[in-house]
Amino acid sequence: MVNKKIGVLFSVLLVFILISSLLVSASLEIKKEAVSSMAIKELNLPAIFNLQIKNLGSADTFHIYSLTGIDMEPTEKFTISSGATKEIVLKAYPSLPIRSSPDYYSFVYKIEGDSSGITDDKLAISLVNLKDAFNLEADSINPNSQKIIIHFDNRAGHDFSNVKLDLSSVFFSKTLDFPLEAYEKKSIEVTLDKDKIRELVAGPYIINAKIETSGISTTSSTILKFDEMPGIETIESNEGWFSVRREIQKINKGNINTDVVVIINKNLFSSLFTSFNTPYLRKEVQGFSVSYIFEEELMPGKTYEVIARTNWWILIAIIVVIILIYYFTDKYIKTKLVLKKKVNFVHTKGGEFALKVTIYAKARDFVEKIRIIDRLPPMVKLFERYGAVNPDKVDEKNRRIEWNISGLGKGEERVFSYIIYSKIGVMGRFELPSAGAIYEYEGRLKEASSNTTFFNNETKKPRIE
């Protein structure tokens, strides 16, 4: 019976204590404002909150702590009078490992009074690595852009007395040092490298950043958008008279690959003397016009150049060579004395086979000391009756007949003839050798020969070859 009374008494006392504790814990009114809910573990920078604590109960002395692995400041005790409000800067230093950045963490902290008991409250903080304390962004650019604006924001509620920022990309590189206040947004203007920008294709590009402060460094990156902008510039030039040079340049001043076409028109005659610095894709002929088509895929910043050279000097050189060939052929190679041999059948009283041989000698230029020589074929005899000019020498042993002329003027012609016969009938083809001549032209000894003649006794008609 006594034990039951003690148990009931203990239960009543416990309920009283709990009710008293709840009443005591409700004696504080807490308002909080986050200065920075971000804690940067690498720099040991805490999350910071401004607390306004109003004591609704009797005057008491308090201190703040947490049982969740979070170190709290201030660690000193503070006193709040009854009905008074105390402003405190609360700092939370997490000692917990970061699972990912940012790592959001909510915990309970306690405000304990020496006589009024404990009041619980909650805070939410984010644990971040140094690079996530900043935000890096860049404006888009195009091939006409001269500069780019890069935005570097301090997302943490902490001041940094010095930040060293090293930026690099295919468009530029730049290093800066500057202080950065809490939540400050800094716009950085960077001049672009025009030589590089004209060779790059449109699309996304990476800007890399190295961030250093308080002896700690980290890296970050962002995407730069290089907007598409087509742009082909054409430059043409023509120069020269006898060597005509036409140049067409296609320059890709945009930032996308572009197909370019160059067409060069020529007439059929001038196309024979035209050459190009690069092969053409195809050639189209319409009547007397020839079109050469060139095509190329042009990358940004690149130039496609087609040069057509029409060299009339080649035509002039060909004409000069022809003239020189004709001149030297006519002067040194081509004979100045032309001999032509002709044969005719002659009817005789006795019915012998007889032929009249005629030699024509014509000078193309003045020649002198001319000796014309003809050879008699076998089985025939020479009839001692000649034409207008008698031979100067008849060599029956060697069967030769000769005429000597002191000279012939240009265009002058002489005719020599004689008759050959045979008492033996000749059947079929009868061949006569060619006549020859030796003469002097401009002090040089030269030779000439006539054609070869044939006579077919079956038809009684001579043949000259």
- Residue ranges, comma separated, of all CATH 2.60.40.740 domains in the chain are 337-464
> What is the per-residue pLDDT for 453?
87
Tens-digit pLDDT profile for residues 356-381: 999 999 999 999 999 999 998 888 88
Domain formed by 232-313, architecture: Sandwich (2.60)
The whole-number pLDDT of residue 100 equals 83
pLDDT band at 6 (very low <50, low <70, confident <90, very high): very low
Residues 6+ apart with CB under 8 A from 125: 37, 38, 39, 47, 92, 94, 104, 105, 106, 107
| Start-end of CATH 2.60.40.10 domains in the chain | 23-127, 130-226
pLDDT for residue 157 = 86
Does the domain at 23-127 match CATH 3.20.20.70? Answer given as: no
Average pLDDT over residues 89-109: 87
Amino acid at 406: S
Q: pTM score, two decimals? A: 0.56
% of the chain surpassing 70 pLDDT: 91
The fraction of the chain above a pLDDT of 90, given in percent, is 56
For residue 66, is pLDDT > 50? yes
Predicted local confidence at residue 7, as pLDDT = 42
Q: Which of 159, 99, 131 is nearest to 217 (CA)?
A: 131
Q: Assess whether pLDDT exceeds 80 at residue 5.
A: no
User: What was the pLDDT predicted at 15?
Assistant: 40
Domain 130-226 has CATH 1.20.120.450: no
Domain 337-464 belongs in CATH node 2.60.40.740:
yes
CA quadruple 166, 167, 171, 172: dihedral, nearest 10:
-30
* Spatial separation of the C-alpha atoms in residues 379 and 376, rounded to whole Å: 9
**Is the per-residue pLDDT at 330 higher than 70?**
no
